Amino acid sequence: MPPFAGLLTFEAVLRLGSMTLAADELGLTQSAVSHRIRALESFFGVPLLERLNPGLRATEAGLRLARELAPLLGTIAGLRRRIADQSGPRIFRLGLSPSLLAWWLSPRLPSLCNAFPDLSIEVCTWDTAAEAARAEVDLALLWLPQAGKMPTDKTEDARELPFPSESVFPVVAPRLLGSIGPGQDWRALPLLAKGRRGEETEREWSWATWLRKGPGHETLRFRDIGSSLQAAMDGNGVALARSLLVADALRQQRLMRLTGLGEAQACSNRQVARWRDPQDGTAERMAAWLVSSAGQDMTADEGVTTGEGMSTGAGMAAGAS
């Protein structure tokens, strides 16, 4: 029998196009990944990957193995679901970030459970992309680049469903906005940011994009967007928010948008629902349910009024995106 660990490693390397990325996903060192690939090549007696500079690609033998391997791994991946379905309610693992859970999904969990009464849903969270890649879940809600590289296997389109595109805009607690007088600029309020200083690779998350020559100054930084939004709701300052996460808070007037719809910045990333087993109809239906719910929430958000009339500097200094 071929080494099973080597088969899984080969699939990950070929799908991700990189031994380094495969090592991150599998929780291995790059050396261990190389060792598994060499052991697999030794078993078959032929090279499976051609090392390039940079990158790698499958040899003819590697492509033949990939074609044989994909349906086998899909069948094996479905074993847990098929066995669990015969021994009581299926345990369905849904993975997402803590911020998405706290700010959007949590209030919708009762409706989700009612929509899938035959499931016992387990909610799993992760803090990093590497943790998300290693998580053993049936459905993952991932925050990915809009133009990010997708796995190359042919079933990818059937196993991924994107959420509606989102935008970024500043928000503030109504009571804090009410504390500034007529003619004062909201950008003079304390500004809240997420992540480490200098790590804002996307311009929409940099206060410099919104301030330009404005009077603002950054006051506090937080590890993630959920913490930043909570601090804003507690009246600590102005935070940059994404559409889906603050949909409820805007409707309930716990937060107010500080710019008009035309001034929001488009998100460089997009929420995606992804499942690994192409034969898992339950995961596909749940992904569709979540995406539809998000679309309804974001459509309702378009009618929410803003607080831009309460200060002269409410518009984004950089202009509409």
Say if residue 172 is in the same domain as residue 116. Answer: no
Q: Cβ(228)–Cβ(239) under 8 Å?
A: yes
Output the pLDDT for position 198: 64
Residues in contact with 113: Cβ distance below 8 Å, sequence separation at least 6, in sequence order: 119, 121
Say if residue 183 is in the same domain as residue 234. Answer: yes
Output the pLDDT for position 206: 86
Structural domain of residue 283, as residue ranges?
Answer: 88-163+269-301
Residue 185 reports pLDDT greater than 90: no
Domain boundary among 57, 77, 97: 77
The pLDDT-based confidence of 171 (bands split at 50, 70, 90) is very high
Say if residue 136 is in the same domain as residue 72. Answer: no
Output the pLDDT for position 276: 84
Q: How many domains does the chain have?
A: 3
CATH number where 172 lies: 3.40.190.10
Task: Answer whether residue 319 is part of any domain.
Answer: no
Say if residue 273 is in the same domain as residue 131. Answer: yes
Say if residue 105 is in the same domain as residue 247. Answer: no
Task: Answer whether residue 321 is part of any domain.
Answer: no
Whether the model pTM is above 0.85: no
Task: Answer whether residue 104 is part of any domain.
Answer: yes
In whole angstroms, give the CA distance from residue 234 to residue 138.
35
Beta strand 269-274 with 119-125: parallel, antiparallel or unpaired?
A: unpaired
**Which tokens in the block code for residue 57?**
């690609």
Say if residue 110 is in the same domain as residue 234. Answer: no
In whole angstroms, give the CA distance from residue 63 to residue 286.
33
Output the pLDDT for position 320: 26
Say if residue 213 is in the same domain as residue 224. Answer: yes
Residue 301 identity (one-letter amino acid): D
Output the pLDDT for position 114: 95
Q: Which of 63-77, 112-126, 148-162, 286-300 has the lowest mean pLDDT?
A: 148-162
Q: What is the DSSP string of 76-112?
A: HHTHHHHHHHTSSSEEEEEEE-HHHIIIIIGGGHHHH
Output the pLDDT for position 216: 53
Domain boundary among 52, 77, 102: 77
Say if residue 189 is in the same domain as residue 135. Answer: no
Domain boundary among 77, 97, 119: 77
Residues in contact with 310: Cβ distance below 8 Å, sequence separation at least 6, in sequence order: 177, 178, 180, 186
Residue 245 reports pLDDT greater than 90: yes
Q: 285 in helix, strand or coil?
A: helix
Say if residue 59 is in the same domain as residue 101. Answer: no
Residue 57 reports pLDDT greater than 60: yes
Residue 105 reports pLDDT greater than 80: yes
For residue 123, how far is the Cα from the chain centroid?
15
The tens digit of pLDDT for each residue in 247-258 reads 999 999 999 998
Task: Answer whether residue 114 is part of any domain.
Answer: yes
CATH number where 71 lies: 1.10.10.10
> What percentage of the chain carries pLDDT values higher than 70?
81
In whole angstroms, give the CA distance from residue 85 to residue 177.
53
Say if residue 175 is in the same domain as residue 225. Answer: yes
Output the pLDDT for position 319: 29
Q: Which one is predicted more confidently, 177 or 41? A: 41
Residue-averaged pLDDT of the chain: 83
**Which tokens in the block code for residue 208?**
């410099």
As a whole number, mean pLDDT of residues 51-67 equals 88
The tens digit of pLDDT for each residue in 197-240 reads 766 666 888 888 887 645 556 678 998 999 999 999 999 999 99
Residue 314 reports pLDDT greater than 60: no
Output the pLDDT for position 9: 93
Output the pLDDT for position 53: 77
Output the pLDDT for position 154: 38
As a whole number, mean pLDDT of residues 119-137 equals 88
Say if residue 151 is in the same domain as residue 125. Answer: yes
Q: Which of 100, 102, 127, 96 is nearest to 223 (CA)?
A: 127
Say if residue 186 is in the same domain as residue 141. Answer: no
